[in-house]
């Protein structure tokens, strides 16, 4: 066993790739939450939802895209975006399905705001995601998660019927130090390195 140093200002994560080849026999549990399809979201609308759900886990990949590059993905007819809304209609999570690969559907992004964790809503959202992902012409549904995500994510995928098939190590600049996310995002992940540019004032 050996250690591989990670440079100051960088983060490293173990990424697990999972797939299923048959539609699982999953019932959708009841939930007070709902899903609202957002077609052709404006870049600001998309980024707000992405930050709301992903900043506690250092999601940043879509935040570094300019409007043109972001629209090229989110306006593609084979990419579907849904906002999770609570009983008052407030955004509380997101689901993004990517069907651009023939015969496959990727759960590109799926998550809830931290306040809803541990209350069974994640089981509902994953069941809804799989119900929408498995459609005529889809023979494979896949997803990936990493060691910086919510610790319940990987067990939840496996319970739902996903099987891991590959792992990888991902390294990238800490988005809190480069100004993409605020310094108080993801306090469970220690900051190591110097702030290089101005950044948002707060994660929330």
* pLDDT of 2: 87
* pLDDT of 120: 83
* pLDDT of 187: 94
* pLDDT of 202: 73
User: Which regions in the chain score pLDDT beneath 50?
Assistant: none
- Answering whether pTM is above 0.85, one says yes
Question: Domains of the chain (ranges plus CATH)?
Answer: 25-172 (3.40.630.30)
| Encoded tokens for 74 | 């989110």
* pLDDT of 198: 63
* pLDDT of 7: 92
Residue with tokens 């190591």: 192
* pLDDT of 204: 62
């Amino acid at each position: 066993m050996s250690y591989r140093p990670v440079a100051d200002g960088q983060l490293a994560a173990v990424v697990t790739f999972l797939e299923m080849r048959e539609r699982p026999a999953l019932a959708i549990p009841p939930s007070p939450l709902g899903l609202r399809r957002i077609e052709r979201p404006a870049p600001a609308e998309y980024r707000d939802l992405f930050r709301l759900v992903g900043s506690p886990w250092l999601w940043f990949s879509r935040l570094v895209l300019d409007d043109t590059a972001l629209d090229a993905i989110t306006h593609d007819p084979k990419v579907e975006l849904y906002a999770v809304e609570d009983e008052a209609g407030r955004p509380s999570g997101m689901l993004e399905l990517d069907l651009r690969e023939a015969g496959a559907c990727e759960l590109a992004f799926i998550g809830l705001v931290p306040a809803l964790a541990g209350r069974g809503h994640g089981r509902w959202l994953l069941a809804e995601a799989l119900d929408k992902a498995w459609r005529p012409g889809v023979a494979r549904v896949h997803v990936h998660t990493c060691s910086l995500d919510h610790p319940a994510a990987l067990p939840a995928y496996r319970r739902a019927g996903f099987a891991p098939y590959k792992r990888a190590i991902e390294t990238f600049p800490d988005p809190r130090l480069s100004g993409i996310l605020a310094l108080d995002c993801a306090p469970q992940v220690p900051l190591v390195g110097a702030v290089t540019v101005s950044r948002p004032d707060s994660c929330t």
